[in-house]
Structure 1
């Protein structure tokens, strides 16, 4: 399936992005793929939690304390544990450290920097940052390796079928999903790091912000969020098929076998 087939019939209010990177010493020439329809940048939801965990380790001397919060932030996407890292290290420090390590510059959200999921990103930036994480792990960075291992433990419920779409059961995956009260859309994002061997890296990202305007559905959604109940099934209903098709198409364009 071609990107044009996936984007042609989108609602005009929808925003969709996909990006992929394949690179590494000893492999074929580096290749990148990206496509965008709608907004240039989207709120990241929980997509960056593994990156936050990675750079925060150097700022928290108590390794056990770091692990106690970083692992659930990645594996089960715990907001409380992510917030502990985000606020104890500091949003600006975490994002500055990410810029130093990956070359990707992100800004704290306007108004309330404590909202880690409101950092605005583009899919190609996310792919670039995760490629650095993957290659750091391959080169022996123990924290990067631990974080990628945790991404490999993310459940299928929170992976939105990414591993199946990519035909890569061992892929390290992290998703972000949220519909804020000030938005008339649901944001559903996925990043997957593909196992390639050596210091080679393959990363695929899909991001969507799709219309979610029915008043009753929004009320039920907000009630579930406020009660701490799962809303992944609703995100999969709205965006799952498109996310999987975007990732599969990006994989094909990258030439992954």
Structure 2
């Protein structure tokens, strides 16, 4: 399926992005692909949690304390553990360290810097940052390697069928999903890392912000979030097929 087939029937208010990078020393020339419909930047939901975990280790002398919060932040997308890292170290410090290590600059959200999931990003930026992170892991960074392994452990219920769709059972996955009370959309994002040996790596990113305007459905969604209940199935129903299509098409466009 081509990108235009995925985007042709989108609601005009939808935001959709996809990006991919394939690069690495000793391999073919670096290649990037991408597509965007709608806003240039989208809120990141939990898409950046592995990057937050990666850079936060250097700012926490207590390695056990770091792991206690960083591992669940990645493996089960724990918001409370992510918030512990985010506030203990400071969003400015975390995002500046990401910029220093990856070259990608993001800013804390203007309204409330404590909202780690409200950082606004573009898919090509996410792909670039994750490529640097993945290459750091395979080049010998033990913290990056640990976080990369945690991404491999992300369960099926939070992977939105991406491993099966792209045909890579051990792909390192992180997804993000949320719909804030003031939004009229649900955001469903994902990144997948495919180490290729040596320092070669492939990264694919899909991001969606799709209309979710039915008042009753929104009320039920907010109630489930308030009670700490799962809302992944709501995101799957709304965006799962499109998200998987974006990821598989991006990987195909990158070529073998």
> Normalised by the size of structure 2, how large is the TM-score?
0.99
What is the CA–CA distance in structure 1 between the aligned matches of 2:195 and 2:237, rounded to whole Å?
Answer: 28
Partners of 2:166 and 2:141 in 1: CA distance:
26
Contact 1:98/1:104 (CA < 8 Å) preserved in 2?
A: yes
Unaligned runs of 5+ in 1: none
The answer (yes or no) to whether the contact 1:104–1:129 under 8 Å persists in 2 is yes
Does the 8 A contact of 2:134 with 2:195 survive in 1? no
Which residue is 1:161 aligned to?
161
1:14 Cα deviation after fit:
0.3
Q: Distance in 1 between matches of 2:212 and 2:167?
A: 30
SS at match of 1:125: helix
Is residue 206 of structure 2 the alignment partner of residue 211 of structure 1?
Answer: no
Matched with 2:72 is 72
Match of 2:198 in 1: 198
2:228 paired with 1:228: yes
What CA distance in whole angstroms lies between the structure 1 residues aligned with 2:137 and 2:191?
16
* RMSD of Structure 2 on Structure 1 (CA): 0.4
Structure 2 unaligned regions, length at least 5: none
Shift of 1:74: 0.1
**Are the counterparts in 2 of residues 170 and 195 from structure 1 also a CA contact under 8 Å?**
no
Q: Distance in 1 between matches of 2:154 and 2:93?
A: 26
CA distance in structure 2 between the partners assigned to 1:99 and 1:228 by the alignment: 32
**TM-aligned CA deviation for residue 166 of structure 1:** 1.1
Residue 101 of structure 2 corresponds to which residue in structure 1? 101
Contact 1:69 1:82 in 2 (8 A): yes
SS of 1:188 mapped into structure 2: strand
Structure 2 counterparts to residues 30-109 of structure 1, below 5 A: 30-109=30-109
Superposed displacement of residue 148, structure 1:
0.3
Q: Counterparts of 1:164 and 1:194 in 2: how far apart (Å)?
A: 13
What displacement does 1:195 show? 2.4
Runs of at least 4 residues off by over 3 Å = none
- SS of the residue corresponding to residue 188 of structure 2 reads strand
Match of 2:140 in 1: 140
CA distance in 2, matches of 1:123, 1:36: 9
1:12-58 CA distance string (max 9 Å, x none) = 00000000000001111100001000000000000000000000000
Residue deviations 1:138-177 (CA, integer Å, cap 9, x gap): 1000000000000000001100011111110010000000
* Matched residue, 1:248: 248
Q: Which residue of 2 aligns with 1:173?
A: 173
